[in-house]
Amino acid sequence: MNTPLPDAVPDLHTQNGLATITLQRPALRNSLNNLDLRTLLDHFSSIHADPSVRVLVLRAHTQGMPQPVFSAGYHVAGLDADVSAPNFFQLVPDTLCRLRPVTICALNGSVFGGATDLVLACDLVVAQQGMEWRMPACAIGLHYYASGLQRYIHKLGLNLSQRAFLLGLGLSFEQLQTTGLFHSLTTANDFENQLQLVIDRALAMAPLAVQSTKQSLRDIATHAFDLDVLQDRESASQTSADFAEGRLALQQRRAPRFLGL
């Protein structure tokens, strides 16, 4: 007997410093309706407020699909019910981009529309070979929101962004890898192993240093940084218990035991 495919809002599971959000509407290619978007925002709020969470993985249920799809993006039927829906969708990647923990997208399928911006909003991406990326906004008459366009330009560059938006062309993950978008582009068989390696590495970092550095990198990339603020973050790390532990661990040739202090 075949196991029924799940059809539910995104699931959140948290354990040992790792939060995992799973999209779980595979029968609908993991498209996102308004309830899904609200649920994601609620999950993000919970994760951001929980200091024990140091890494977030965003992934999708793709079992049972003829071809794996991470997400088909916003469920466009919702546009008829709420003309402000594109602006509502924008809140999700914008919030994801600002989250405190390191964020990793486990991109184990093709991705379309607004869901591409969820990928771009993550800090790191582990992707599966042989998949496709497509942005159909202009093909359905929609000018994309500004923060999403900024992420496209920043992560993919102008030329690939023009091809994606102005022609609606599908881009292979292999093409996208030339931009450095993916930390790893791997086979289906090795996907989970490669993902776990990235998770373990991120969890091993000093929490305060990695989270403040993440913020500073984003501030610099968006030309919104204050040099005094960056120097304050640097000074705070130098007086932290984690930095003292890191130096001691180097001297003793052992793995550090960071407490986020």
CATH of region 8-203, choose from 3.90.226.10, 3.30.9.10, 1.10.645.10, 3.40.50.300:
3.90.226.10
Based on C-alpha coordinates, what's the Rg of the chain?
19
Q: What is the pLDDT of residue 155?
A: 94
Cα-based distances in Å from 99 to 77, 102, 185: 29, 8, 24
What is the b/e burial string over 206-238, where b = at least 16 CB atoms within 10 angstroms of the residue's CB? bbbbbbbbbbeeeeeeeeeeeeeebeebeeebe
pLDDT tens for each residue of 96-123 = 999 999 999 999 999 999 999 999 999 9
**Cβ of 14: how many Cβ atoms within 10 Å?**
16
Q: Where in the chain is the domain with CATH 3.90.226.10?
A: 8-203
Which residues face 22 on adjacent strands? 11, 59
pTM: 0.92
Cα-based distances in Å from 67 to 39, 64, 132, 240: 26, 9, 11, 48
pLDDT tens for each residue of 27-45 = 999 999 999 999 999 999 9
Nearest CA to 121 out of 141, 152, 97 is that of 97
